[in-house]
Amino acid sequence: MTNQHTILVVDDEPSICWALEKMLSGEGHHVVTASSAEEGLRLAGQHELSMVILDVRLPKQDGITALPGFLKATDNAPVVIITAFGDLETAVAAVKNGATDYLTKPFKLDDALRICRLTLQKSAQRSVLKSTPPMPLGSSDLVGVSPPMQKVFRQIALVADSDLSVLITGETGTGKELVAAAIHRHSKRAGRVYIPIAPVALNPDLIESELFGHIQGAFTGANDDRAGLFERAEGGTVLLDEIGDLPLAVQVKLLRVLEQGQYSRVGDTRPRTADVRVLAATNSDLHAEVTSGRFRDDLFHRLTGVQIHLPPLRERIEDIGPLCAHFLEQMSYVENRLDESLLNELQSRPWHGNVRELRNAIGHAAVVARGRPLTIADFPTAKPGRVSEPESPSQSLEKVIATWAEIAIAEKADTINLHGEFLAAVEPTLLNVVLKHTGGNRAKAAEMLGIHRGTLRDRLRAYGMDDMA
């Protein structure tokens, strides 16, 4: 950085103030420090500050409560919050009160430096959120003290109040629906409807109708006009769970909603407008789905305004203790403390079902224990790892054919010779492989193919392959 900035650090831990002062001074900035919100506000009135780093836990007035005062005193200089707790509600409260970003103790100085540099760099371009009282936050089942979950909390806090589409990825049971619900709950659409839906659970023939509605007579059984998901969610938020399973023909119409804010009911040509925020979730690799042709590249990029990845439980075992305590508290279980040996045992399990499996295991143990302290004997036996069988060639071929057909139908709605187009796409490859296998012997090739030699000759001529040996 070439420009010197004056930065205020407010923290009651002298070691934190010292470390941040040394780090930022090394960047060429002037740093002033305070050990309380009251002292910090006094210093804010004496300096022209470029940034404030503010701890949440302070001796008298806490950082969240003091945050509006700092914004007012510094003419909305960006504020980075420091918290030792890092829960989602604190993160959201900080951002809603006007914080630009936040750090979770203990933090690495490299991470702090990166956030400070980015904050100072963007402060001239970005409009800092105005100081407004926080909305009622309510409780959340998203629990975690691990760095991966702190990253998730930060992403939720920073994206919640925008209208960006969000793609939430992660294995089954990691809490993707909880993330989507949290984004809606902390957004400006919180007072409007929130509808989660899994298209894969619907009748494949009715997915389009469920999403966009239909008019009377659009298909057999459509006896009345019917509003779809996007119409019912007007002004609110929808979650499309397992988005990777959405048929290609419907993907085209969803793209229109995202790009133009328009859709049409099935059987109707009249466009309708949709003021709906779209969140999507998947446990599949959408990059691979795009590569294979089963998911549209343009829709993938349109959905990923922001991507939030939920780590599996085995990659954040330090969250198992807080999660167990949280679930037991929900059950009003009095003896909700786990001894160290039990916690070590639970942390060593693979938890292939992730947080969902852990919650079910805690519920099972609580029923068995009947109020006494839990022991490992109260828990169900650990589930073995899931070993997936490799696909057979016929299964792989079936998927490829299905994908080809869906794309052809989606792109050529008026196709009348789909069978001929399919044969022209695959038959030359089949003939070529068989002829190579027989060394160019057409009699043997025809026998292997199960067709007459004359038919083979005609097919080769039709594909311009009659010069093959």
Split at pLDDT 50, 70, 90, the class of 388 is: very low
- Domain spanning 150-309 has what CATH number? 3.40.50.300
Ranked by mean pLDDT, which of 244-248, 392-396, 463-467 comes out on top?
A: 244-248
Q: Which helix (H) or strand (E) holds 355?
A: helix 354-369
6-32 pLDDT, tens digit per residue, is: 999 999 999 999 999 999 988 889 999
Q: In what order do the strands lie in the sheet with 166-169?
A: 194-197, 237-240, 277-282, 166-169, 306-309
Quick check: 117 pLDDT over 80? yes
Q: State what percent of residues in the chain have pLDDT above 90.
A: 32
Residue for token pair 């949709």: 274
Residue closest to 465 by CA, chosen among 442, 444, 448: 442
119-160 pLDDT, tens digit per residue, is: 887 554 433 333 323 333 334 668 888 888 988 988 998 898
Distance CA 377, CA 306 (A): 43
Look at residue 450 in the predicted model and tell me its pLDDT: 87
73-100 pLDDT, tens digit per residue, is: 888 889 998 887 666 777 777 877 788 8
Let me know: does 102 contact 91? Beta carbons within 8 Å.
yes
159-202 pLDDT, tens digit per residue, is: 988 889 999 999 999 999 999 999 999 999 988 999 998 877 77
| pTM of the predicted model as reported, rounded to 2 decimal places | 0.61
Q: For 26-134, where are the alpha helices, taking DSSP H only?
A: 37-44, 63-73, 88-96, 109-122
Distance CA 406, CA 170 (A): 26
Q: For 192-295, where are the alpha helices, taking DSSP H only?
A: 207-212, 229-232, 248-260, 286-292
Split at pLDDT 50, 70, 90, the class of 454 is: confident
Look at residue 124 in the predicted model and tell me its pLDDT: 45
Cα–chain-centroid distance for residue 88? 16
Distance CA 456, CA 435 (A): 10
- Give the residue-averaged pLDDT of 238-260: 90
Quick check: 276 pLDDT over 90? yes
Let me know: does 356 contact 172? Beta carbons within 8 Å.
yes
Look at residue 18 in the predicted model and tell me its pLDDT: 92
Higher local confidence (pLDDT), 387 or 404 = 404
Split at pLDDT 50, 70, 90, the class of 411 is: low
Look at residue 173 in the predicted model and tell me its pLDDT: 92
Q: Which helix (H) or strand (E) holds 462?
A: helix 453-462
The DSSP code for 53 is E
Residue closest to 245 by CA, chosen among 258, 254, 257: 254
Split at pLDDT 50, 70, 90, the class of 384 is: low
Would 6-138 and 150-309 be classified into the same CATH topology? yes
Look at residue 395 in the predicted model and tell me its pLDDT: 64
Averaged pLDDT of the chain: 83
Quick check: 319 pLDDT over 50? yes
Q: For 223-353, where are the alpha helices, taking DSSP H only?
A: 229-232, 248-260, 286-292, 297-303, 320-330, 340-348
Split at pLDDT 50, 70, 90, the class of 412 is: low
Q: State what percent of residues in the chain have pLDDT above 70.
A: 87
Cis peptide bond N-terminal to 134, omega within 30: no
Domain ranges of the chain: 6-138, 150-309, 315-378, 415-469
Classify domain 315-378 at the CATH topology level.
Helicase, Ruva Protein; domain 3 (1.10.8)
Quick check: 70 pLDDT over 80? yes
302-316 pLDDT, tens digit per residue, is: 988 789 999 999 999
Let me know: does 102 contact 77? Beta carbons within 8 Å.
no
209-242 pLDDT, tens digit per residue, is: 888 888 888 887 778 888 888 999 999 999 999 9
Q: Tell whether domain 415-469 is in CATH 3.20.20.80.
A: no
Look at residue 180 in the predicted model and tell me its pLDDT: 94
DSSP-derived pairing of the beta strands 272-273 and 262-263: antiparallel
Lowest-pLDDT range of 119-133, 378-392, 398-412? 119-133
Name 197's Cβ contacts closer than 8 Å, sequence gap at least 6: 210, 211, 229, 238, 239, 240, 241
Classify domain 6-138 at the CATH topology level.
Rossmann fold (3.40.50)
322-379 pLDDT, tens digit per residue, is: 999 889 988 888 777 788 899 999 999 999 999 999 999 999 999 888 888 899 999 9
Quick check: 263 pLDDT over 60? yes
